[in-house]
């Protein structure tokens, strides 16, 4: 981890109360929870490289005589129409 810099943040009382509770439950600090949450938020904005994801390997690996699987998947999975 790079060098940490101090900052000041303000939270509503109910949010701060929940943060303190979560920090105590997880034996960590509020700062660590906030850092992890912000890092996760930033990473969500990064584009996913699907070609390196094993899920991508499944694309096109099966076939069916029914040509409407993406539209009619509820019918095929649960026996009901949309």
Q: How many domains does the chain have?
A: 1
CB 59 within 8 A of CB 53: no
| Any domain includes 70 | no
Quick one: three-class SS letters along 23-57? HHHCCCCHHHHHHHHHHHHHHHCCCCCHHHCHHHH
Q: What's the pLDDT score for residue 38?
A: 92
Half-sphere CA count of 42, side-chain side, radius 13 A: 6
Place of tokens 């938020």: 41
Structural domain including 20 reads: 9-45
CB 36 within 8 A of CB 46: no
Residue 1: band (very low, low, confident or very high) from pLDDT cuts 50, 70, 90: low
Q: Is the pLDDT of residue 82 over 70?
A: no
| Any domain includes 41 | yes
Give the tens place of pLDDT for each residue, 15-67. Answer: 999 999 999 999 999 999 999 999 988 887 777 777 777 877 777 777 777 77
């Amino acid at each position: 981890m790079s060098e940490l810099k101090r900052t000041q943040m303000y939270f509503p009382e109910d949010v701060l109360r929940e943060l303190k509770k979560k920090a105590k439950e997880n034996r960590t600090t509020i700062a660590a929870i906030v850092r992890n949450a912000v890092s996760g938020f930033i990473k969500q904005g990064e584009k996913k490289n699907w070609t390196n994801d094993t899920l991508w390997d499944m694309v096109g690996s099966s076939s069916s005589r029914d040509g409407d699987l993406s539209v009619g998947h509820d019918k095929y999975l649960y026996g009901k129409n949309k």
